[in-house]
Structure 1
Amino acid sequence: MRQKVIAVVGPTAVGKTSLSVEIAKKFSGEIISGDSMQIYKGMDIGTAKVTNTEKENIPHYMIDIKEPNESFSVADFQEQVHHYIKEISDKKHLPIIVGGTGLYIQAALFGYNFAEKKRDDSFQIKIENEIEEKGIMSVYKRLERIDPEQASKIHPNNTRRVVRALEVYERTGMTMTAYHEQQQLVSPFDPILIGLEMDRPLLYERINQRVDQMIKEGLVNEVRFFYEKGLKDSQSMKAIGYKEFIPYFEGNQSLEDSIEILKRNSRRYAKRQYTWFRNKMDVDWYTITHEDKSEKIEIILQDLAGKLEKK
């Protein structure tokens, strides 16, 4: 019998953390973070990392496992989550994944096979030499011709992902987009996906309020600490909540503009998250408001009780 795994998904600031803790308390669960940035130590405010108070003594995994100068791939995430699902289920507890990074959640729950795509160092060196000679835009435009959908998801400055997408195409004859579409969405687990959504204006209001709260809590100083450690080009500093302040530190943008850009980028990211989960995964959605949040959580817990009882 396949192990049941709960996944709580949805856009940023919608209330996933508090729901996941309620589920864990009700069903003897333990929580695995499905956020690609909460893995980094010290990056607490900008990633809206769950606090010790919010955890309510529920064990949480996949938080603070990497230094901010280290890289971390989807394949790494998949491997680690599978390890924790087994560890939690061996204790007869319920694994609960919570987060908004769609590709990471999908890779953890379904049959993505990354083994076929081991790195080819010679190809990487060849492309890097080409970038040095002709510039990144020459290589990026080739990706736009080969795989426009993948190119639209990758910033030209993200050399690592540009090279990776081209490498997959050269080695397999298949675009990264086609590769993802071909993956069999057959899960080794028995996943139950719970999605939280809000009316767009309310969600955007919550996002703006969350950013204001992050600023009050010291987000600018948190980002400055990592910037001054020389990490501005690291994978961790590419995250929303961090990259927006680099122009401010370099004297090219006001603090007020940086904050407004962070709010805008967060709203856009929420929209992309919602679209991803809607299009890629079979999620049971629940719309919540300020007024009915407690009531909706009770409904979700009742619905989950019925699903978990089914063999």
Structure 2
Amino acid sequence: MATPVNSKSTNSVHKDVPLVVIVGPTASGKSSIAMRVAETYGGEIIAADSRTVYKGMDIGTAKPSVQDRKRVPHWGLDLVEPGEVFTAADFKRYTYEKIAEIRARGHVPILVGGTGLYVDGVVFDYQFGAKNEHVRAKFADASLEELKSYCYSNNIKLPENIMNRRYVLRAIEQHGVNDNRGKYPLPNTIIVGITTSSEELRTRITQRAEQLFEMGMVEEAKILGEKYGWDSEAMTGNIYKLVHHFL
């Protein structure tokens, strides 16, 4: 169990507890480092991943084990059903609430990611949904396929008519992906970036993929695909899309 960094309960003490952010590519070792930091300094982990928010997507998203969750409290997991929409704006609201709760307990909030937009939205206080012309300028020369690819990568729900470029661009605008963000990270934030050689990453990713399939990745994907549909937003990314391709 996490040990509070300070037993006092004043608001000033709570605000003094830093937000620790650990970022890095897949298989770079973020989770293991976050566990060590949490157990050493009395922390609680918030997963910033656009797929681990979905219930039932356990193996394919490499969610923390039951044992790890018993050792250290984890948040940001199993928040919605795969058929539901969960945006970066939703994650930001959820995470700000959790950061406040964790600090109120005298613990250290540790944000681990993951999904870049989820992390940046929290750290740089993105103002999602703000209306401006930056989005249109940013994607002015993007093709329809590039816009759709951007939506898939950032967990943005595509419109019913996905062959209409204007509709897809509007989905991005409404999602709030824009330049309306803070210039600097939130105060009292410690950001740790994990770097690993490309060769080592490839080796680790290969090993992880083999482990996932041994754990029942294909069976999990089939169950989710049949229940929610392979076109469900939750199923369009990560390894599930790859499994569907070969079924």
TM-score range (shorter-chain normalised) is: 0.7 to 0.9
Shift of 1:157: 8.7
Distance 1:31 1:53 in 2: 14
The CA deviation string for residues 97-142 of structure 1, in whole angstroms up to 9 with x for no partner, is 011111110001112111425xxxxxxxxxxxxxxxxxxxxxxxx9
Distance 1:26 1:108 in 2: 24
The CA deviation string for residues 145-202 of structure 1, in whole angstroms up to 9 with x for no partner, is 7242996363299634963533676x9xxxx87x32x522334442111111111011
Distance 2:151 2:87 in 1: 17
CA contact (8 A) 2:92 2:122 kept: yes
CA contact (8 A) 1:143 1:151 kept: no
Q: Describe the shift of the 1:204–1:115 C-alpha distance in structure 2 as closer, same or farther (beyond 3 A).
A: same
* Matched position secondary structure for 1:95: strand
Q: Following superposition of structure 1 onto structure 2, how do residues 178-193 of structure 1 map, counting pairs within 5 Å?
A: 179-180=178-179, 182-193=180-191
CA contact (8 A) 2:21 2:110 kept: yes
Query: What residue in structure 2 maps to residue 222 of structure 1?
Result: 220
* Matched position secondary structure for 1:154: helix
Q: 1:165 aligns with which of 163, 169, 172?
A: 169
Counterpart code for 2:225: Y
Aligned length: 219
Counterpart code for 1:166: R
CA contact (8 A) 1:109 1:189 kept: no
CA contact (8 A) 1:2 1:188 kept: no
Query: What residue in structure 1 maps to residue 41 of structure 2?
Result: 27
CA contact (8 A) 2:82 2:228 kept: no
Q: Following superposition of structure 1 onto structure 2, how do residues 71-90 of structure 1 map, counting pairs within 5 Å?
A: 71-90=85-104
- Is the aligned partner of 1:148 residue 2:162? no
Q: Following superposition of structure 1 onto structure 2, how do residues 205-216 of structure 1 map, counting pairs within 5 Å?
A: 205-216=203-214
Distance 2:108 2:242 in 1: 37
Where does structure 2 lack aligned partners over 5 or more consecutive residues? 1-14, 153-157
Query: What residue in structure 2 maps to residue 112 of structure 1?
Result: 126
Q: TM-score, normalised by structure 1?
A: 0.63
Counterpart code for 1:148: A
Q: Following superposition of structure 1 onto structure 2, how do residues 1-311 of structure 1 map, counting pairs within 5 Å?
A: 3-117=17-131, 146-148=140-142, 152=146, 154-155=148-149, 159-160=158-159, 163=167, 165-166=169-170, 179-180=178-179, 182-249=180-247
Radius of gyration: which is bigger?
1
Distance 1:153 1:199 in 2: 30
Percent of aligned pairs with the same amino acid = 33
The CA deviation string for residues 245-293 of structure 1, in whole angstroms up to 9 with x for no partner, is 22333xxxxxxxxxxxxxxxxxxxxxxxxxxxxxxxxxxxxxxxxxxxx
Distance 1:10 1:199 in 2: 12
Where does structure 1 lack aligned partners over 5 or more consecutive residues? 118-141, 250-311
Distance 1:67 1:105 in 2: 21
Q: Describe the shift of the 1:8–1:153 C-alpha distance in structure 2 as closer, same or farther (beyond 3 A).
A: farther
List, as ranges, runs of 4+ consecutive aligned residues in structure 1 with deviation greater than 6 Å. Answer: 142-145
* Matched position secondary structure for 1:197: coil
How large is the Cα RMSD of the aligned pairs?
Answer: 3.0
Counterpart code for 2:52: Q
Structure having the higher helix fraction is 1
CA contact (8 A) 1:32 1:81 kept: yes
